[in-house]
């Protein structure tokens, strides 16, 4: 994969809030349509509400989100660049303590992508847990190290119970 193509991606994402907790950005790369999304959630720990973000992306085919995207297509660097650069800018607007990247389909291939993307966000959050099994898939989790072990462990227990949307 061409790293310079990822980091130099010029695909701009225009974000649109479509519900109280879901923001999307549709974009095109090489005449194919994609969607990046950010879903905000909250977790109550000892009466303290913590915000976390679920981030993902999909291909759009005939108006439907298809989550079979893998790194074995020719435009993968451009798509990853758009996602990484676009999400990096957008998440600055949130006061989030954690970021999740989860896969339900093609889990092994998608988690390679998500683990790679997650490493790009460690500076923001501090701790990366590469693989958490959930009832219908797997999640890479970035979490703010400043939360302390008790809160982090409690949040991880919460994450393990999450049903990922398809």
Q: What is the pLDDT tens value at each position of the chain, 166 positions in all?
A: 455 666 666 788 999 999 999 999 999 988 889 999 999 999 998 899 999 999 988 889 898 888 766 555 667 788 888 888 899 899 999 999 999 998 887 788 878 888 888 888 888 888 888 889 998 889 999 999 889 999 999 999 999 988 776 6
Query: How many domains does one find in the chain?
Result: 1
Q: Is residue 13 part of a domain?
A: yes
- Supply the range of the domain harboring residue 139: 3-159
Q: Is residue 125 part of a domain?
A: yes
Give the whole-angstrom CA distance, residue 32 versus residue 46: 46
Q: Is residue 165 part of a domain?
A: no
pTM: predicted TM-score of the whole model, two decimal places: 0.87
DSSP string, 93-144: GS-EEEEEEEESSSHHHHHHHHHHHHHTTHHHHEEEEEEEEETTEEEEEEEE
Give the whole-angstrom CA distance, residue 52 versus residue 158: 12
Sign for the CA dihedral angle at 102, 103, 108, 109 comes to negative
Q: Is residue 136 part of a domain?
A: yes
Give the whole-angstrom CA distance, residue 136 versus residue 119: 23
Q: Is residue 166 part of a domain?
A: no
Q: Is residue 90 part of a domain?
A: yes
What is the CATH classification number for the domain harbouring 113? Answer: 3.40.630
Q: Is residue 164 part of a domain?
A: no
Q: Is residue 41 part of a domain?
A: yes
Give the whole-angstrom CA distance, residue 24 versus residue 14: 8
């Amino acid at each position: 994969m061409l790293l310079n193509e990822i980091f130099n991606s010029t695909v701009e994402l225009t974000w649109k809030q479509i519900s109280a907790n879901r923001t999307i950005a549709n974009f095109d790369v090489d005449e194919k349509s994609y969607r990046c999304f950010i879903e905000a959630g909250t977790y109550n720990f000892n009466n303290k509400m913590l915000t976390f973000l679920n981030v993902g992306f999909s291909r759009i085919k005939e108006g439907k989100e298809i989550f079979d995207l893998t790194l074995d297509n020719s435009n993968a660097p451009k798509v990853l660049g758009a996602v990484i650069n676009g999400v990096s800018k957008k998440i600055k607007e949130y006061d989030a303590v954690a970021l999740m990247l989860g896969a339900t389909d093609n889990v092994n291939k998608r988690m390679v992508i998500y683990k790679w993307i997650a490493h790009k966000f460690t500076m923001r959050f501090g701790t990366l847990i590469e693989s958490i099994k959930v009832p219908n898939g797997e999640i890479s989790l970035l979490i703010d190290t400043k939360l302390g072990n008790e809160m982090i462990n409690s949040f991880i227990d919460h994450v393990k119970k999450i049903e990922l949307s398809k």
